[in-house]
Amino acid sequence: MRKLLLVFVAITAMATAQDHRAKSIDIKILSTMLADDDGIGEWGFSALVVVDGHRILFDTGAREDTVQINTHDLKIDLTNVPDVILSHNHIDHTGGLMTLRRGVMAKNPDALVHAHAGEGIFANRGSKRMETVRHDYEATGAKITIHDAPFELYPGVWLTGPVPRVYPERNYNTSATITNPDGSKREDNIPEDTSLVIDTDRGLVVVTGCGHAGVANILDYARKKVRNAPVHAVIGGLHLYQADDERLKWTSGKLREFGVQNILGAHCTGIEATYRLRELVGLSRQTAAVAAVGAEFKLGEPIHPGNISK
C-alpha cells in the first residue's frame, strides 16, 4: 500500500511539473542596435515576452523614448502588460522605464505597475540615478520587488535573481566598483544580473539583458534551479562583442554541453560573435541569428530575426 502511495505521489508531482511548463511563447525585440523598416536602433535592450497569455516587459531600452517609438511602429500595446523585469542597473536597460510607465498610466493604471529586479540593483555605485528612478517610479503608485533567489513569476516562468559565478566569465567592466556600507570598495561584477527562464517541453528558453553573469553561469544556474533540461533557446544580450576567439570557443563548448538549439543574439552579443557562436555550436541560419528591432522568437517556429538579419 505504501509503495502504491509513493508511486501515486511521484506521478502527481510529475504531472504538476509538466502542467507548469509553458505551452506558447512569443518574444519580440523592442530595443537593440539594428532596425528594419519599423522602429529605430540604439545601444540598449528591451523585449516583450508573452508566455501562455502572460505579458512581461523585459528591460526598457536606453533612451527615454526608443521603446515607446518602436512599440508604436510595431503596433504593440503595452497597456495590458503588468510586469517589468529590470535585468540590471545600467541605463541601456532601464532608461525608458519612466516614459513607458507614464505613457500607459492614463489608459490603465495597472500597466507596467510591478517591476522586478535582482538584489544589488540599488548598490552604491557613486550615482543616485537608480534611486531617482525608484523614487519616480514608486511615486506613480508602482512597486519594485527585489529578488535574492529564483522566483516563479507565473507557472513555468522564472526569474533567476542573482546568479552564482561558478565559471570564470567576466562579462563586465572590471574597473568599476561598488562602495560597501563601511566605505570600502569592491569590484562591481553586476551582482544583480537577472535573467528570465521559461520551462517548456522542448527545454528551457532563457532571456538575458546583457548576460553580465556569463552565459555559462546563467544556463548552469537555470538548469540547477528550474529544470535539468537542454536549453532550447537563448535570446538577448550576452556581452561577447569584444570576446576573442579563445573565449568564444570556450563559450560555444559550454553552449553545446547545455544543448543550446537556438540563439537570437541582440544588443551586446555582437554581430561577429553571434556568427562565430552559430558556427562553433553547429547551428544554422534558421536557428541562430542577429536580432533586429521587431525580431521574433515563437516556440516551435524558426527564428524570425528581421529582414536585415536574414
H-assigned helices in 167-244:
215-225
State residue 19's pLDDT score.
Answer: 67
The per-residue pLDDT for range 215-259, each reduced to its tens digit, is: 999 999 999 999 999 999 999 999 999 999 999 999 999 999 999
d(CA 61, CA 268): 13
Ranges of each domain in the chain: 2-309
Asked if pLDDT for residue 306 goes beyond 60, the answer is: yes
Give the CATH architecture of domain 2-309.
Answer: 4-Layer Sandwich (3.60)
d(CA 45, CA 21): 26
* pTM, two decimal places: 0.93
The per-residue pLDDT for range 38-83, each reduced to its tens digit, is: 999 999 999 999 999 999 999 999 999 999 999 999 999 999 999 9
Amino acid at the residue 291: A
The per-residue pLDDT for range 256-274, each reduced to its tens digit, is: 999 999 999 999 999 999 9
The per-residue pLDDT for range 111-152, each reduced to its tens digit, is: 999 999 999 999 999 999 999 999 999 999 999 999 999 999
Q: Which H or E run includes 172? A: none
State residue 14's pLDDT score.
Answer: 42
What dihedral do alpha carbons 249, 250, 256, 262 form, nearest 10°? -70
State residue 107's pLDDT score.
Answer: 96
d(CA 127, CA 163): 24
